[in-house]
C-alpha cells in the first residue's frame, strides 16, 4: 500500500536552476545553498522514495491569468520541460505514473470532495524543476515518478492557507488507500520571503522566514489562519507562495522527526529547505 515517508519544503527560485545548469554549485555565492540540499537528497535516497507529489505553482508556462485553475493535478506518463524564455533545460522529461495519479484524483475528488482540474498534458516550469534535481537522481533518467500538483498563488482570489492544509490531509488519505507499493515524498515549494515589484522591491525578512520554518515543523496549525495580506506584508507579495508548504505539512501527522533544515539569504529571496519524517509512518 502507499505510504508517505517524507515531507519536504523547498524554495523554487529560478536562479537556482540557472546556477545548477551552469554547474556553479561550488562557486562561493552558491555553495551554501547547494550544500544545504545534499543531506536531503542522500536521506530521500536512503528512504527509497519511489514517488514525489510536488505542490508548486506554474509561472505562465502552462497557465496564465486568463485561465488559472485553483488546483490542477497531472495524470500522465510524462511531463515535458517547458521553455520559460531562456531555452529548455537539459533535464530528462519528468516521469509520471498514470495509475497512481488517477487513484489520487479519484480519492481527492470523489472521497475528500476537492475540486481538481485533471490535466493529461502538463508542461513543467521552475516551480517544480528547481527542487526536483536537487532532491532526486535524474541521470540517465529520473529516480522517482512525479505527480505535479499546481496551486494558484498568483491570480486572486487565492486558496486559503487552511485549504492547503485540507489538501494535504486529502493527499494523505489518497496515498494510504493506494493498493500498490509506493513510498511517497510530498514536496511543498515556493518562497521564502521576497518581493519582485513595486516600492517594496527586494523586500526580505529573515526573522519571518526562520519563524515560519519553526512553525511549519513544530506547530503548523498556527499558520493556517494567517490572512494572505499578512503573509505578503511580512514576507513580500510573492512570498504568499509559502502557503503551499502547508499542503505538504498537512499530509503529515502532528509529530515529525526533523531530519534536515537549511537556510540561505544571498540575494532578493530567502531560500530554505526542511525535511521531515512522519513519526507514525516511521514507526509502522
**187, 8 contact by CB (below 8 A):** yes
Residue 229 has what pLDDT?
Answer: 93
Number of domains in the chain: 1
How far apart, in Å, are the Cα atoms of 96 and each of 75, 144, 254?
A: 7, 8, 29
Residue 269 has what pLDDT?
Answer: 85
Residue 202 has what pLDDT?
Answer: 66
The set of cell numbers assigned to 112 is 475528500
3-state secondary structure of 95: strand
Q: Which domain holds residue 177?
A: 2-283
As a whole number of Å, the CA-based R_g of the chain is 17
**238, 194 contact by CB (below 8 A):** yes
Q: Beta strands 78-79 and 256-267: pairing type?
A: unpaired
Residue 280 has what pLDDT?
Answer: 77
Residue 284 has what pLDDT?
Answer: 64
Torsion of CA 69, 71, 73, 79, to 10 degrees: 50
The set of cell numbers assigned to 234 is 511580512
Residue 283 has what pLDDT?
Answer: 67
**172, 4 contact by CB (below 8 A):** yes
pLDDT along the chain (284 residues), means of 10: 96 91 94 96 97 95 90 98 90 98 98 96 95 96 97 95 98 97 97 83 85 96 95 86 97 94 89 91 68
Distance (Å, rounded) from C-alpha 125 to C-alpha 60? 9
Distance (Å, rounded) from C-alpha 114 to C-alpha 152? 15
- Beta-carbon contacts of residue 51 (< 8 Å; ≥ 6 apart): 97, 100, 144, 145, 146, 147, 182, 183, 184, 185
Q: What is the CATH number of the domain that holds 30?
A: 3.40.830.10
Residues marked as catalytic: 126, 194
Alpha-helical runs (H) found in the chain:
14-21, 31-46, 98-110, 126-129, 132-135, 161-176, 206-218, 228-235, 244-249, 279-283
pTM score, whole prediction: 0.96
Residue 31 has what pLDDT?
Answer: 95
Residue 201 has what pLDDT?
Answer: 80
Distance (Å, rounded) from C-alpha 97 to C-alpha 99? 6
Amino acid at each position: 500500500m502507499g505510504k508517505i515517508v517524507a515531507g519536504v519544503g523547498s524554495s523554487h527560485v529560478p536562479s537556482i536552476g540557472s546556477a545548477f545548469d551552469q554547474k556553479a554549485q561550488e562557486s562561493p555565492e552558491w555553495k551554501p545553498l547547494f550544500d544545504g540540499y545534499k543531506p536531503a537528497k542522500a536521506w530521500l535516497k536512503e528512504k527509497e522514495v519511489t514517488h514525489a507529489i510536488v505542490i508548486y505553482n506554474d509561472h505562465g508556462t502552462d497557465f496564465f491569468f486568463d485561465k488559472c485553475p485553483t488546483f490542477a493535478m497531472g495524470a500522465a506518463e510524462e511531463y515535458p520541460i517547458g521553455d520559460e524564455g531562456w531555452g529548455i533545460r537539459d533535464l530528462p522529461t519528468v516521469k509520471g505514473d498514470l495509475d497512481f495519479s488517477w487513484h489520487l484524483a479519484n480519492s481527492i475528488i470523489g472521497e475528500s470532495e476537492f475540486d481538481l482540474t485533471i490535466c493529461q498534458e502538463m508542461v513543467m516550469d521552475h516551480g517544480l524543476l528547481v527542487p526536483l534535481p536537487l532532491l532526486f537522481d535524474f541521470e540517465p533518467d529520473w529516480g522517482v515518478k512525479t505527480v505535479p500538483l499546481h496551486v494558484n498563488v498568483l491570480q486572486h482570489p487565492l486558496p486559503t492557507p487552511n485549504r492547503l492544509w485540507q489538501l494535504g490531509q486529502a493527499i494523505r488519505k489518497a496515498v494510504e488507500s493506494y493498493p500498490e507499493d509506493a513510498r511517497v515524498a510530498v514536496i511543498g515549494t515556493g518562497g521564502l520571503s521576497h518581493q519582485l515589484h513595486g516600492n517594496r522591491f527586494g523586500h526580505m525578512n529573515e526573522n519571518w522566514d526562520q519563524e515560519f520554518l519553526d512553525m511549519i515543523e513544530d506547530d503548523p496549525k498556527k499558520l493556517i489562519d494567517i490572512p494572505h495580506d499578512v503573509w505578503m506584508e511580512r514576507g513580500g507579495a510573492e512570498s504568499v507562495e509559502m502557503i503551499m508548504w502547508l499542503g505538504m505539512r498537512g499530509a503529515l501527522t502532528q509529530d515529525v522527526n526533523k531530519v534536515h533544515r537549511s537556510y540561505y539569504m544571498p540575494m532578493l529571496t530567502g531560500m530554505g529547505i526542511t525535511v521531515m519524517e512522519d513519526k507514525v509512518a516511521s514507526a509502522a
